[in-house]
Amino acid sequence: MNLNFLKSLVRPADSRILLLVIDGLGGLPMNAGEPSELEKARTPNLDDLARHGICGLHRPVGAGITPGSGPGHLALFGYDPLEYRIGRGVLSALGVDFELRPGDVAARGNFCTVDDQGIVTDRRAGRISTEKNRELCALLRKAKLDGAELFVETVKEHRFLFVLRGEGLYAAVSDTDPQVTGSDPEEARALEAEAETSASLVRRFVEHAGRSLSGSHPANMVLLRGFASLPQWPRLPDVTGMRAAAAASYPMYRGVAKLVGMELLEAGGDLDGRLDALRGGWDEHEYFFLHVKQPDSAGEDGDFERKVAEIEAVDARIPELRRLEPDVLIVTGDHSTPAKLRYHSWHPVPAVLWSARCRPDPVTRFSERECLAGALGPAFSAVDLLPLALANAGRLEKFGA
Amino acid sequence: MNLNFLKSLVRPADSRILLLVIDGLGGLPMNAGEPSELEKARTPNLDDLARHGICGLHRPVGAGITPGSGPGHLALFGYDPLEYRIGRGVLSALGVDFELRPGDVAARGNFCTVDDQGIVTDRRAGRISTEKNRELCALLRKAKLDGAELFVETVKEHRFLFVLRGEGLYAAVSDTDPQVTGSDPEEARALEAEAETSASLVRRFVEHAGRSLSGSHPANMVLLRGFASLPQWPRLPDVTGMRAAAAASYPMYRGVAKLVGMELLEAGGDLDGRLDALRGGWDEHEYFFLHVKQPDSAGEDGDFERKVAEIEAVDARIPELRRLEPDVLIVTGDHSTPAKLRYHSWHPVPAVLWSARCRPDPVTRFSERECLAGALGPAFSAVDLLPLALANAGRLEKFGA
């Protein structure tokens, strides 16, 4: 739903919405005839929500599309991820908690290997260690770029973040990553006239990288791609009229929450810390995003039983959330991460929306199979959750007379 | 679905479609564990339709959006209410059965209270009586507006309809309603150059209103908003190739039907009168819209039992409708009006489509809960009903070879 349209219907109310994202929630049976992770888990508190709320399974992006964490969360916040695209450079910055400012130009960097002729022979430089990466980033930072400030930040293994800061910089710069081995790195070119300065600074940085890394085989060159700047999007507080807060500990989720205008609550590393943060911020805000990472990590490790246990651990905390007395409580995931696949997947994600104004549906158990019969449907669009939450919170006017 | 696309597939057939709109049909339980209005009602005839037809629940506008009657009906007629917007002035005219002509400029008017300084202190003039409104409208009609005919019609309490008729008038005029108290009324301005004449006429009318109402405290000024003209939309008979007729008694529903090109059948105030009208127009038309208001009124009154009884009363008339032998019979509502909420709501609306060509689904009882499992799905888009009706009436060609 168009966010400006939604904004035109918003009215104030004294009500609170809490969105609990269980990362990678959806799963699959390991073998035919067996239960999924969520079906196996004992979840009396989620089942109680399902019994009194409305259930369904959502698609964060579209049929068959496996969402990354960025698009998955944007959809849950009501932002259509096909319309609101986050550039790769910006995603990299979010992922390392880098304080990107408006006008900064960010790109994702790879250390790579080139031969005597400058031909790329390994786009990932043999996946060097993160420690080595740190050493080499220190060399890259020494580049002299007149008129711009340079940031080079280690991400992991062969990956780093590249940021230019200065007046009059634009992100319309072409990738230097040829995407295949056997070619030279491409030269950075301005894709629009106003990006000439940025492109020339990028070329100077790449020259410096080539010289300063020449002795660091296999990581003797860099590739840059996905030049991007902070997007100018409608802010969730402006759209909804709600002061919005995020209790999340991983940089990526904090970053996406900030991108839509949420305030970041000071949250310790574990769920206890985030629940404390939530309680601390409860009076000052109306919209809350609480993130739990562990089920996704267990899924990516292919550890079915650990994912079951992590889901049960979240279930045990639901009563604490209900004691906060949110008017609307949504529990869902940003995508599925079946342990069987050890990866994000395209499978629709179970969701429950609870409020005092829900029309009952037949679902009595929060699971992939039972959610199929719920009032939200078996493949609804995740962006519908925002208007549904606002409606159940008494925060939307009637459309037309 | 795009109406031009639909039109491109239409073929003639000797078949009739009847759409019965039970206003405010959808509901909610008053308390957890209880049935909704429709679930409580004994509806053997609707259940029989459900058993042999296809069921589901539709969203007239979108997830979480509470539809007004105008958008709700447009969606049932196949017009996407987000694309086909009705201006507030036009809606006001429809609501009082005013014969708006192409080129007329209509606005919604409020009597309001201003203080000695001309500052608005009450945007609704203490909700004066409808009788008082009639007196004051007579004063307003005396305004001398060279080059335009003026209509001022009482709506209800503080509300009236304002219409300008003449050559070269355009509706792109800004509201005079400041939307808040403590401000002057705004001056009407042309939002496009061609609307200068209209804006100047509106200003003259407002001056006249200020003078002629000066002794009529609390209704001593007027506010105007939502200037609009009749929209130029595809007509339902042109899109579908069907002569379309409406049997409705309330002005708003007659107005929306007329807006999409339906002929208004002479229908008395009660359902008997409308059924007579339907029978009278049966041979001359192929598409019929029959409107029943009472369940919505009972819902808005918060009278659960009366809504149950009104639904049962409609059910009792279904055999008469079937004796007319429509090829396609659709029964649904334009929105939900749960007695529990005493207002229109965003909850999806139960719908049944019956024809001899339906593929059976498992629904055997026409209720919110059972419709969840129907072939139309738990949250389909209301605009889908038109193409489905046409298909079931044998009126659509195959698309592509």
Same domain, residue pair A183 and A241: no
Q: What is the mean pLDDT of residues B189-198?
A: 96
> Average pLDDT in the A95-100 region?
89
* Minimal Cβ distance to A398: which of B68, B88, B373: B68
* CB proximity list for A121: less than 8 A, separation 6 or greater: A113, A114, A115, A181, A182
**Mean of the pLDDT values across residues B298-324?**
98
- Please report whether residue A399 resides in a domain: no
Average pLDDT of chain B, as a whole number: 96
Domain boundary pick from A177, A209, A228? A228
For strands A221-228 and A244-247, give the pairing: unpaired
Give B70's contacts in chain A (Cβ within 8 Å). 400-401
CB neighbour burial string for B144-175, b if at least 16 within 10 angstroms, e if fewer: eeeebebbbbbbebbbbbbbbebeebbbbbbb
**Euclidean distance between CA atoms A262 and A159, whole angstroms:** 28
Where residue A400 falls among pLDDT bands split at 50, 70, 90? confident
pLDDT at residue B269 above 80?
Answer: no
pLDDT at B266: 84
Q: Looking at this protein, which amino acid is placed at residue B271?
A: L
- Do residues A122 and A45 share a domain? no
Which residues does B125 contact at the CB level (< 8 Å), separation at least 6? B110, B111, B112, B113, B158, B218, B219, B220
What's the number of domains chain A is made of? 2
Q: Which residues contact B35 (CB under 8 A, 6 or more apart)?
A: B29, B367
Do A359 and B378 lie within an 8 Å CB cutoff? no
A257 with A365, same domain?
A: yes
Interface of B with A in 84-143 (CB under 8 A): 85-86, 88, 91, 95
Position B252 scores a pLDDT of 87
The CATH number given to whatever domain includes residue B312 is: 3.40.720.10
User: pLDDT tier at A110 (50, 70, 90 boundaries)?
Assistant: very high
Name every chain B residue with its beta carbon within 8 A of the beta carbon of A9: 65
Whether residue A397 is contained in a domain is answered as no
Is the residue at B18 inside a domain?
yes
In 3-state terms, chain B is what percent helix, strand and coil (to 5)?
35, 20, 45
A389 touches chain B (CB under 8 A): yes
- In total, the C-beta contacts within 8 angstroms joining chain A to chain B are 95
**Residue A205 near residue A145 (C-beta atoms within 8 A):** yes
Interface test with B, best of A52, A59, A357, A359 (most B CBs within 10 A): A359
Claim to verify: residue A120 and residue A198 sit in the same structural domain:
yes
User: Which residues of chain B make contact with A396, given a CB cutoff of 8 A?
Assistant: 64-66, 346
Cβ contacts of B26 on chain A, cutoff 8 Å: 359
A155 phi/psi in degrees, rounded to 5: -100, -70
| Chain B contact for A1 (CB, 8 A cutoff) | yes
Same domain, A179 and A191: yes
At which residue do the structure tokens 């005597």 appear?
A116
pLDDT of residue B38: 98
- The mean per-residue pLDDT over the stretch B188-199 comes to 96
Pairing of strands B105-114, B221-228: antiparallel
Residues A338 and A269 in one domain: yes
Q: What are phi and psi of A89, to 5 degrees?
A: -65, -40
Question: Which residues in A121-134 are b (16+ Cβ under 10 Å) and which e?
Answer: ebbbbeebeeebbe
Residues B261 and B381 occupy one common structural domain: yes
pLDDT band at B147 (very low <50, low <70, confident <90, very high): confident
Query: A21 and A109 share a domain?
Result: no
Alpha helix ranges (H) inside B176-325: 196-212, 236-240, 251-259, 271-281, 294-300, 304-323
The answer as to whether B16 is a domain residue is: yes
Judge whether B22 and B329 are in contact, CB under 8 Å.
Answer: no
Taking only the tens place, the pLDDT of each residue in A279-325 is 999 999 999 999 999 999 999 999 999 999 999 999 999 999 999 99
What is the mean predicted confidence (pLDDT) over A33-51? Answer: 98
- Does residue A249 register a pLDDT over 90? no
Token duo for residue A16: 């609170």
What does the pLDDT read at residue B389? 98
* Interface check A377 vs B, CB under 8 A: yes
Report yes or no on B397 lying in a domain: no
Q: Are residues A283 and A204 in the same domain?
A: no
Residue A47 domain flag: yes
Q: Are the beta carbons of B328 and B16 closer than 8 angstroms?
A: yes
Residue indicated by tokens 């992590």: A310
Q: Where are the alpha helices (DSSP H) in A141-220?
A: 196-212
Which among B55, B88, B336, B346 is the top mutation candidate for probing chain A, defined by the most A β-carbons within 10 Å of its own β-carbon? Answer: B346
Same domain for B198 and B63, yes or no, is: no
Q: What is the CATH number of the domain that holds B222?
A: 3.30.70
Q: Sort out which chain B residues have CB atoms less than 8 A from A1's CB and list them.
A: 62-65
Q: For residue A401, is pLDDT > 80?
A: no
Q: What mean pLDDT do residues B222-246 have?
A: 96
pLDDT at position B242:
98
A327: distance to nearest CA of chain B, Å?
15
Q: What is the pLDDT of residue B97?
A: 85
Q: Parallel, antiparallel, or unpaired for β B54-59 and B105-114?
A: unpaired
pLDDT above 90 (res B251): no
Sign of the CA dihedral with A360 first, then A361, A362, and A368 last: negative
pLDDT in tens, B314-356: 999 999 999 999 999 999 999 999 999 999 999 999 999 999 9
**Mean pLDDT of the region B220-227:** 96
Which residue matches tokens 């529903």? B253
Range with lowest mean pLDDT among A249-253, B107-111, B130-134, B352-356: A249-253
* Residue where one domain finishes, among candidates B205, B228, B251: B228
The reported pTM is 0.91
- For range B97-104, the mean pLDDT: 92
Query: Cα separation of B300 and B341, whole Å?
Result: 8
Inform me whether the pLDDT recorded for B312 exceeds 90.
yes
| Mean predicted confidence (pLDDT) in B35-51 | 98
Least Cα distance to B287 among B332, B251, B335, B328 occurs for B328
Answer whether residue B401 is part of any domain.
Answer: no
Question: Given A200, A228, A256, which residue is the final one in a domain?
Answer: A228
Band of pLDDT at residue B249, cut at 50, 70 and 90: confident
Q: In chain A, which residues have their Cβ closer than 8 Å to the Cβ of B377?
A: 377
Q: Which domain holds residue B385?
A: 3-86+233-392
Are B233 and B84 in contact by the 8 Å Cβ rule? The answer is: yes
Which residues in chain A are closer than 8 Å to B344, comparing Cβ atoms?
Answer: 398
**Three-class secondary structure of residue A244 per DSSP:** strand
B378 CB within 8 Å of a chain A CB: yes
CA B215 to centroid of chain Cα atoms: 37
The pLDDT tens digits for A366-387 are 999 999 999 999 999 999 999 9
Q: In the β-sheet with A54-59, what is the strand arrangement from edge to edge?
A: A263-264, A244-247, A287-292, A17-22, A328-332, A349-355, A54-59, A377-381
pLDDT in tens, B115-140: 999 999 999 999 999 999 999 999 99
Whether B248 and B382 share a structural domain? yes
My answer on whether A266 and A163 are in the same domain is: no
Query: pLDDT class for A251, splitting at 50, 70, 90?
Result: confident
Residue B398 lies in a domain: no
Inform me whether the pLDDT recorded for B199 exceeds 90.
Answer: yes
